Amino acid sequence: MAARLILLVNGPNLNLLGNREPAVYGSATLADHVANVEASCAALGWVVEHLQSNSEADIVGAVHAARGRADAIIINPGAFTHYSWAIHDALAAFDGPVVEVHLSQPLSRESWRHTSVVAPVAIGTIAGFGGVGYGLAVEALSRHFGVAKTS
């Protein structure tokens, strides 16, 4: 069987991780998080494609391009989480599982962060565990697909 392909999407401002509000988002860089996802996926024999974009159109385009190609999507939509119905609709048109990840816990922050328009099209949301959340998302997908680690 072909290796599963996981699309990892990180939305606006996440390119600044490492020096963006480290008290909220931690000191690890986006490259660190991507490397962790790649390592967790490699242990399952899975391949990762990563996109970080500050543009809603790029994210919608990447989700469209994943249709019929990727097996699952792990997405931290950044602030788009709270209002991008375009990303919601693109994810709704993707037929594999979607896992929503947040480094911080939006529910314990400002009230405008309490709504996620992505949650209704995700199989689950992992929030508040910092970068560990990305690895937990891979773990959630491995259980969803019912696969065992190869190493």
Give the span between the Cα atoms of 69 and 86, in whole angstroms.
Answer: 20
Place of tokens 């970068």: 131
Asked whether the CA dihedral 114, 127, 12, 17 is positive or negative, the reply is positive
Kindly tell me which residue out of 53, 81, 84, 125 binds ligand DQA, with binding defined by CB under 6 A. 81
71: left (phi over 0), alpha (psi -120 to 50) or beta: alpha
**82 counts as catalytic:** no
Candidates 1-9, 61-69, 72-80, 142-150; binding stretch for ligand DQA (CB under 6 A)? 72-80
The residue (of 40 and 76) whose beta carbon lies closer to ligand DQA is 76
Neighbours of 69 (CB within 10 A): 11
Tell me how far, at minimum, the Cβ of 109 lies from ligand DQA, in Å.
Answer: 7
Candidates 29-37, 40-48, 63-71, 103-111; binding stretch for ligand DQA (CB under 6 A)? 103-111
Q: Where are the alpha helices (DSSP H) in the chain?
A: 22-25, 30-42, 56-66, 85-92, 132-145
Kindly tell me which residue out of 96, 106, 131, 135 binds ligand DQA, with binding defined by CB under 6 A. 106
104 lies in the site for ligand DQA, by CB under 6 A: yes
**102 counts as catalytic:** yes
Question: In the complex, which residues of this chain contact ligand DQA (CB under 6 A)?
Answer: 13, 76, 78-79, 81, 102-104, 106, 113
